[in-house]
Structure 1
């Protein structure tokens, strides 16, 4: 009897652990998964309007340790120096609750480094790396990265800025678009993708684009602030 009871308890514990680890932001399929289907019922989410321009969309935000999981790493917590709690935000269409993009924001230096590390492990080298100044580029101190997964039609944008309280990282994951939200580096990236589409060459890289720009304009700002 005790053996059976032990087995039952073990099964319950395993099921509990599984349910807690099931959710992972990295597993979200954009424009397919619904908020109502993937968010655990016991997680409190606060929903906000985005604005008139995006009237059909809202976003929901939380600092829950059940949601701040990316690539099997828990990024919940806060930085007392920043007086800021790490948060995740999911943007969705109010008509069907389908997730269109999501964001993970971290204010702790070590967690920010861990996020960058796991992104590199998951996605490889960034397709675009941005810098705040020419001095930062010389010292290789980036403040932004873009990864593009054409196969999954997904773009990953990471801002990685040094603040008085440490490194603040914000990951935005969204579908590949012609125009993007006003985030650092996106204007350079849009210029590049416009030229890539114009050339009708899907293998044309940002680095090739920079070399072409440099030939025509040695003082080109994009060459000085990105790679």
Structure 2
């Protein structure tokens, strides 16, 4: 399912006395929770049309420290070297405001490292780890991680890269699907999912898949750049 960015919404902060200490993006139930129900009450949604429509979907973006909380970790902040503020992006349906996915864009090294750490604590070792080059794989410097939470039907995709301003992290949290929006390394994962479905073996892992691929084609660069 291809999700195009269509209508930009921003969160406008208003004063309020209600405590929002229990808000956590990690608690969102995709395809069930509504933006109007889970966004803190002192955050007002203001809608802006950027001229590009996306069917039945909208998205909202904010750098608010009341929203940028994942697994009890506050990820708000700004990197002056990148001239960029950490942001959360929430995608939802127009008709019922049900949240379909969300995204975290982090440009501050400390918060990027904290995000990776808390994902490992929450979900364990990733099901897929990707690398940008063979050298990066030798040096164990991953650029992509995928966690598949089958029990809750959630896929976590993290892009993780070193930029001139520090470490950049981009997390997409979305339902498990047969095809995904364009994300780094996701085609490798989709190939594995297709093969697993055909094999009818729910215990079949990406590592099993990769072992077979390497045996059949050890020189294939796609096979070399993941584990």
Comparing 42-51 and 76-85, the one that deviates more: 42-51
- 2:51 & 2:219 partners in 1: Cα distance? 39
The aligned counterpart of 1:221 is: 221
1:131–1:226 contact (8 Å) kept in structure 2? yes
Residue 66 of structure 1 corresponds to which residue in structure 2? 66
**Are the structure 2 counterparts of residues 47 and 171 from structure 1 closer, same or farther at C-alpha, using a change threshold of 3 Å?**
farther
2:49 and 2:156 map into 1 onto residues whose CA distance is: 23
**1:153 corresponding residue in structure 2:** 153
Aligned counterparts of 2:53 and 2:186: Cα–Cα separation in 1: 19
Q: 1:18 to 1:51 in 2, by over 3 A?
A: same
**Structure 1 equivalent of residue 38 of structure 2:** 38
Q: Which structure has greater helix proportion?
A: 1
Structure 1 residue 115 displacement after superposition: 0.4
1: CA distance, partners of 2:127 / 2:185: 12
Deviation (angstroms), 1:202:
1.1
- State the distance in 1 between where 2:21 and 2:187 align: 37
Q: Gapped runs of 5+ residues in structure 1?
A: 1-15
DSSP-derived class of the 1:113 partner: helix
Q: Greater Rg, structure 1 or structure 2?
A: 1
Mapped to 2, the partners of 1:116 and 1:128 lie a distance apart of 14
Structure 2 contact 88–105 (Cα < 8 Å) conserved: yes
> Does the CA contact (< 8 Å) of 1:106 and 1:112 recur in 2?
yes
Shift of 1:18: 8.3
Q: Structure 1 residue 181 and structure 2 residue 181: aligned?
A: yes
**TM-aligned CA distance change 1:46 to 1:219, over 3 Å:** farther
Contact 2:88 2:102 in 1 (8 A): yes
Once the two structures are superposed, the pairs formed by residues 111-190 of structure 1 within 5 Å of their partners are: 111-190=111-190
1:106 aligned onto 2:106: yes
| 2:196–2:204 Cα contact (<8 Å) kept | yes
Offset of residue 214 of structure 1:
1.1
Cα drift, residue 42 of structure 1:
1.8
Gaps of 5+ in 2: 1-15
Which residue of structure 1 aligns with residue 88 of structure 2? 88
State the TM-score, normalizing by the size of structure 1.
0.89
Q: CA deviation at 1:43?
A: 1.7
* Residue-by-residue CA offset, 1:142-197 (whole Å, 9 max, x unaligned): 01100000010000000001110000001100000000010101000000000000
Equivalent residue, structure 2, for 1:6: none
Q: What's the secondary structure of 2:115's corresponding residue?
A: helix
Report the alpha carbon displacement of residue 51 of structure 1 after superposing the two structures with TM: 8.7
Q: SS of the counterpart of 1:21?
A: coil
Change (3 A) 1:17 1:117: farther
- Please show how residues 40-55 of structure 1 align to structure 2 within 5 Å: 40-45=40-45, 47=47, 54-55=54-55
Render the CA deviation track for 1:21-43: whole Å, top value 9, x for unaligned: 12100000000000000111322
Q: How many residues align?
A: 212
